[in-house]
Chain A
């Protein structure tokens, strides 16, 4: 077993779960369907091809920089049409996530090679959001995604310079991962059964929100929390 690290960062990304019709939302972290789709695209699989091997991989995500919500108002109209079709597409702007994907070593190696030289262009949830150049963080001999994401030597904190300067001296990074067998978790319906346009279907999975990871931020600012100041004084 080994683990592949990916780095989802850049101006825009969008990870929809259960999002249909005119308001296309984004989740707060990369979805399993988004990651599986990206890996399938890297391997050059068509939408009709089977993805059960990729669905079986364990994934975990660490929110290194939460980003902000961006709502893009989108109109579409054909020549001669009276009315436009409206939609509102949500993106995360300025966000950064460390993604850990673990599975059987042979498959992880194949995926790491494919992501570096993909058959189809890769994107962060939506076609207009290309992956960054340093997308691949490497492959490590460790099978537990949580252990990997707690180790800043393996998966360094991706926050950018401006964010570090504005943030506090230490932060807690949200971390979530697929539940282990028998474990309880939040139910998320983002496991693709197939990407075939005629048979798009999703199963659910259990996601565990783990204890956040503390990261020290020497570049950050001391923030006087008025609440704690008041508590101390009284």
Chain B
């Protein structure tokens, strides 16, 4: 039995362009035969990961860098100020090579000091893993006596929270890969929509002072306004495998939930400032399989003079949740919904009504019930 936590949200954006393609237009997709706005999964995840630093300590997060040798050597110097910096770099390079990374000397200009060795691509290491490796190296005189297993053990256990949720790929040695425990769908408009063009002119202040007419420059920006359906799910068991500590799983799930609610990609936000929050956030805890309610919107929502789009979208979402229960008997173990007051009665079928804060608090109990305390290792 695997435990999944499903996150659903309805989120209305004013005209904006938070996630655009190479032509500068907001991303779209066809669903139900009509074009709709789309925010890509990877943009949503990047926004969440960026927001993690506001909710989690840096020591629990990962560092994504090519300069892994320098990173470890600096930490060694912090642990033991007596360590010679060249010795530290040498030891760190040896350890990284041992772990399976190919580290090479970066090219420098003539007359420049040689730089420390770097990996050929970005490596996602947990800050805690860097600490443990630095600690190990400070107390090891002969790094060549360490086995590959010793070093990989440090770099492949107790992963950082962002690494554990979103995964890691290591090109040199696949043994160091981490399977993601979170799955994030592309956000999709619940209704048909097309991009709109904003034609703008910028006035040259100096010319204006001379009473000249005409603009200094002109251009167009594409924008779109939609009510989006967003969906993500966490595999709690996989998260526990990656993190190795129940307390860390609680913090990871809560940080994921908080950023799912609050974080959006930041594209063109200086121009549009569409800093809205979702009108409905629902969580369903399941033990059989994750369930997306996206098909509630296969038939696009059409607002009319009596009923607004947010209300109709909430109704469709609630009726899909009911349909899933009635048709497939997929009743969640727990379900909660945080909705703005005007949508609360429509959202009832999505779970018991709570505030977003309570919803996030409740997730602690869910994780603690799923992961038995005897599994707890390395608890701080």
Q: Which of A's residues lie within 8 Å of B, judged by CB?
A: 10-12, 44, 47, 67-68, 70, 72-74, 76, 78-81, 91, 93-94, 116-123, 127-130, 132-134, 160-163, 166, 196-198
Contact = CB atoms under 8 A, between A and B. Distances in A.
9 cross-chain pairs, A with B, having the tightest CB-CB distances, nearest first? A197-B174, A128-B41, A162-B33, A11-B31, A198-B174, A117-B288, A73-B22, A73-B21, A78-B64
Interface stretch (B86-94, B243-251, B290-298, B337-345): B290-298
Contact of B30 (A94, A129, A130): A94
B291 A133 contact: yes
B65 A11 contact: no
B174 A93 contact: no
Interface in B266-324: 287-292, 294-295, 298-299, 324
B27 interface: yes
A120 B2 contact: yes
Residue among A76, A94, A133 having the largest count of chain B Cβ atoms under 10 Å:
A133
B156 to A, nearest CB: 13
Contact of B40 (A44, A74, A116, A160): A74
A79 B290 CA distance: 33
Interface string B143-171: 00000000000000000000000000100
Contacts of A197: 169, 174, 177
A79 B294 CA distance: 33
Given A121-B235, A198-B174, A130 B327 contact: no
A196 B174 contact: yes
A118 B289 contact: yes
Contacts of A122: 289
B260 interface: no
Given A121-B235, A128-B183, A128-B185, A116 B289 contact: yes
A130 B231 contact: yes
Contacts of A93: 29-31
A11 B186 contact: yes
B32 A162 contact: yes
Contacts of A10: 31, 292, 294-295
Given A116-B288, A166-B33, A198-B174, A130 B185 contact: yes
A160 B327 CA distance: 18
Given A10-B295, A94-B32, A78 B122 contact: yes
A123 B183 contact: yes
Contacts of B180: 127
B70 to A, nearest CB: 13
B95 interface: no
Given A94-B33, A130-B231, A117 B122 contact: no
Contacts of B287: 117
B42 interface: yes
B290 A121 contact: yes
A91 B28 CA distance: 12
A38 B29 CA distance: 24
Contacts of A11: 29, 31, 186, 188, 294
Contacts of A166: 33
A167 B20 CA distance: 32
Nearest to B174: A197
A160 B174 contact: no
Nearest to B20: A73
A83 B304 CA distance: 46
B330 interface: yes
Contacts of B175: 198
Contacts of B294: 10-11, 130, 132
B258 interface: no
